[in-house]
Copies of this chain bind each other. A is one copy, B any other.
Amino acid sequence: MSESPVPHEPPIYRRIADGLRARILSGELRDGDRLPGENALMAEYAIARATARQALAVLINEGLVVPKRGSGVYVRLFKPIRRHGSRRLSREQWGQGRAIWEADARGRPFEVDRVEVVLERASDEVASVLDSREVWVRRRRYSVDDRPVQLSTSFFPAHLVEGSAITLPDTGPGGAYARLGDLGVPPAHFTEEVRARMPAPRESALLELPGGTPVIVIARTAYTSGGLPVEVNEMVLDSAAYVLQYDFDA
């Protein structure tokens, strides 16, 4: 492995980025505000254009600001959604610790569109987990504050849900999990597999992602208390819009 030194003092572009970030997070610079441009940064800090560009690139990569072609870099604030992976084990039950990353979902209703319900042949991965090649697939897109934040695709074994409201656009009161309960196979355990990657072009378009924004992909499998897999839900999340939280015991 290479032995290049790890600097203790951050380089100048990073300190400039830190300063700009602090002005955004303090509320001095707000959603839609224009950041100082390359020329302004060059003059203020006596730095080269490449350094100014690097400072702005840090904030662009963090999803805090967005470049608009030919007009500069703008604040793109969106308070991330805190998604609880394990609510029953939540920290709320045993303590009142603070969070590293401020985020909240309360009082922010989701809108759902692009609902699609179809019978399909499953991918090898989904077929292997559900032990079923034929699957009913429910696709939808979630938005918060008019911003698309998540694409969600649920797969159900066709032989299990055929004839139930899970195969209809409206699953009825309580949703698909209530229908699984009606069928005698209510979900009791969940496994979530989490990855991150750059978006596919279709995902980028549907989530309206600015360049350089990765997605978080969650594959959640729901099992009955007897260990029967009844659903795979693949969620593709705008990484700038989410903090995932998981609580567990030692």
Contact = CB atoms under 8 A, between A and B. Distances in A.
Interface in A1-35: 1, 4, 6-7, 14
A91 B249 contact: no
Interface of A is mostly: mixed
B250 A187 contact: yes
A197 B116 CA distance: 30
A243 interface: yes
Contacts of A243: 193-195
Contact of A190 (B196, B244, B247): B247
Nearest to A90: B191
B85 A246 contact: yes
Contacts of A143: 1
Given A101-B193, A191-B246, 20 more contacts: A6-B116, A80-B195, A91-B191, A94-B225, A94-B227, A95-B189, A95-B223, A97-B129, A97-B221, A99-B193, A188-B249, A189-B250, A190-B248, A190-B250, A191-B245, A195-B243, A195-B244, A196-B196, A196-B214, A214-B239
Interface string A117-147: 0000000011011000000000000010010
B91 A195 contact: no
Interface stretch (A42-50, A56-64, A68-76, A165-173): A56-64
A193 B64 CA distance: 18
A232 B240 CA distance: 22
A220 to B, nearest CB: 9
Q: How many copies of the shown chain assemble into the complex?
A: 2
Contacts of A95: 189, 223, 226-227
Contact of A100 (B63, B91, B188, B221): B221
A200 B58 contact: yes
A88 interface: yes
A216 interface: yes
Given A249-B88, A249-B189, A196 B215 contact: yes
A239 B101 contact: no
Nearest to A129: B98
Given A14-B200, A94-B227, A202-B6, A86 B242 contact: no
